[in-house]
Structure 1
């Protein structure tokens, strides 16, 4: 089965076109090699998919005939994604809470109070 179709079948991507685009951008690796969307995958291949700033890693157990339900996905793959990847995403979310985008103007009164409270707590 093609790698883009497999990723769509096991619900890593919502559409097959999104899976194809990810392969073209180099976000999908099979056995540590960047692949094209038409690359054939077989059981026991190791696949790495970069999605939402997380490197999902899994091993293929079996090839489905078509798209499977969310409860049946674990039959076809074994997830080997390290826990640190998800923890890094949580830290990234917290760091973005206090980041102000350039050009948003001066801080509001509430922003100023939050900044003052933050500095008062750190002292």
Structure 2
């Protein structure tokens, strides 16, 4: 299949606009069903055009972007931000894991230390 002019592969595009760190991660996300193009799951070789809506789910967060410019090479962050419109919902607020210790409270007890280690291992 020969791609039309003004199109590029979806895995290359999401990598080149810096939605994922590596091209391998982009291909794995497509194969794993984490990328939707205009509402349907896509394989890595699906062409993307200007005006398409891309939904990418990674690490529990969903990114919803509309393609404004198709590029095939990885570019700087400032230029990459011009290639899409971000319609993603805001991330949920993070809850603090535990209350901070009061200043001057002294060393943590053995019980406190074990509680901290349990939190770090989660």
Partner of 2:23: 16
1:60 maps onto 2:67 in alignment: yes
SS of the equivalent of 1:26 reads: coil
Give matches, 1:1-123, under 5 Å.
1-83=8-90, 86=91, 88=92, 90-91=93-94, 94=95, 97=97, 108-110=110-112
Post-superposition, which runs of at least 4 consecutive aligned residues in structure 1 deviate over 6 A? Answer: none
Instruction: Note the C-alpha offset of 1:56.
Output: 0.3
Distance change (3 Å), C-alpha of 1:37 and 1:7: same
Higher helix proportion (structure 1 or 2):
1
Q: TM-score, normalised by structure 1?
A: 0.72
Over the aligned positions, Cα root-mean-square deviation in angstroms equals 2.2
Determine helix, strand or coil for the equivalent of 2:24: helix
Residues 59/13 of structure 1: CA separation in 2 closer, same or farther (3 Å cut) = same
Which consecutive unaligned segments of at least 5 residues does structure 1 have? 99-107, 115-123
Aligned length: 99
Q: Deviations over 1:56-97 (max 9, x none)?
A: 0000001114111011112110000022xx1x2x33xx27x2
| CA 113–77 in structure 1, closer or farther in 2 if over 3 Å, else same | closer
Q: Which runs of 5+ in 2 are unaligned?
A: 1-7, 99-109, 117-122
> TM (normalized to structure 2)?
0.73
